[in-house]
Amino acid sequence: MREPVERTVEARQAGENRHDLDRPRTVARRRSAANLAQVSHEAAVAPAARVTTQQWAVYRAAQQSRLEKAEQEGLQRRERAWKLARRAARLLRERFGATRVVVFGSLVHEDCFTRWSDVDVAAWGLRPADTFRAMGAVADLDADIEVNLVDMGACRASLRDVIEREGIEV
């Protein structure tokens, strides 16, 4: 509902803005939200003190099960990523004439590969005219795991050094 123009004009002349007129209600809302947060905190803490040993055991078992499942899914994703890297290497050799293909990045570092990781491959021997088509071809291999291609013929020296040092040929 719109305020009467006179009240708004009077408020502006008095140095207030239109939103200041609602301030008492806003402060009351903030206070009630703070009180609710305090009550919620107290309610959450009190039952934790009454958790039985059996309830904690059930919680720990469920948590352990979740962790094991996540670890298993991570191992499966990593295995799938290696298969994808081999498919990308085969495609780069057969369709684009790559002479050498290596995997680098998080996939070659077991502890670094996560559910958000991609597959990084580097290829030697690609023709400059084929580079972007090759990038598109490997990018389209999997809908869930991204594949990034580095053309070693157009690569920065610092990245080339890392790839040469850490890369694993596929």
Same domain, 148 and 88: yes
Instruction: Please say if the pLDDT value at position 3 is more than 90.
Output: no
Instruction: Please say if the pLDDT value at position 6 is more than 80.
Output: no
Question: Within a domain: residue 113?
Answer: yes
Give the whole-angstrom CA distance, residue 41 versus residue 5: 44
The string of pLDDT tens digits covering residues 35-73 is 555 655 555 555 667 888 898 999 999 999 999 999 999
Q: N- to C-terminal Cα distance for the chain?
A: 69
Q: What pLDDT score does 50 carry?
A: 84
Question: Within a domain: residue 58?
Answer: no
What Cα–Cα distance (Å) separates residue 33 from each residue in 21, 25, 27, 28, 118? 20, 12, 10, 9, 43
Same domain, 163 and 79: yes
Question: Within a domain: residue 124?
Answer: yes
Question: Within a domain: residue 105?
Answer: yes
Q: What pLDDT score does 146 carry?
A: 96
The radius of gyration of the chain from alpha carbons, rounded to an integer in Å, stands at 30
Question: Within a domain: residue 146?
Answer: yes
Same domain, 90 and 22: no
Instruction: Please say if the pLDDT value at position 29 is more than 90.
Output: no
Q: What pLDDT score does 51 carry?
A: 85
CA-wise closest residue to 27 among 19, 38, 15, 39: 19
Residues β-bridged to residue 119: 147
Question: Within a domain: residue 54?
Answer: no
The string of pLDDT tens digits covering residues 139-162 is 999 999 999 999 999 999 999 999
Q: What residue numbers bound the domain in which 15 lies?
A: 5-49
- Mean pLDDT score, 96-100: 97
Cα dihedral 72, 73, 74, 79 sign: positive
Same domain, 76 and 157: yes
Number of domains in the chain: 2
Residue 12 vs residue 107, higher pLDDT: 107
Enumerate the H helices of 16-156 as residue ranges.
23-49, 53-96, 131-139
Same domain, 119 and 38: no
Residues 6+ apart with CB under 8 A from 155: 122, 163
Beta pairing class for 119-124 and 168-169? unpaired
What Cα–Cα distance (Å) separates residue 47 from each residue in 52, 59, 141, 158? 10, 14, 51, 56
Residue 167 vs residue 46, higher pLDDT: 167
Instruction: Please say if the pLDDT value at position 119 is more than 60.
Output: yes
Same domain, 45 and 77: no
Average pLDDT, the chain: 83
Question: Within a domain: residue 128?
Answer: yes
Residue 42 vs residue 87, higher pLDDT: 87
Same domain, 95 and 161: yes
* CATH number for the domain harbouring residue 162: 3.30.460.10
Question: Within a domain: residue 66?
Answer: no
Confidence class for position 110, pLDDT limits 50, 70, 90: confident
Same domain, 125 and 161: yes
Instruction: Please say if the pLDDT value at position 81 is more than 90.
Output: yes
Give the whole-angstrom CA distance, residue 165 versus residue 170: 15
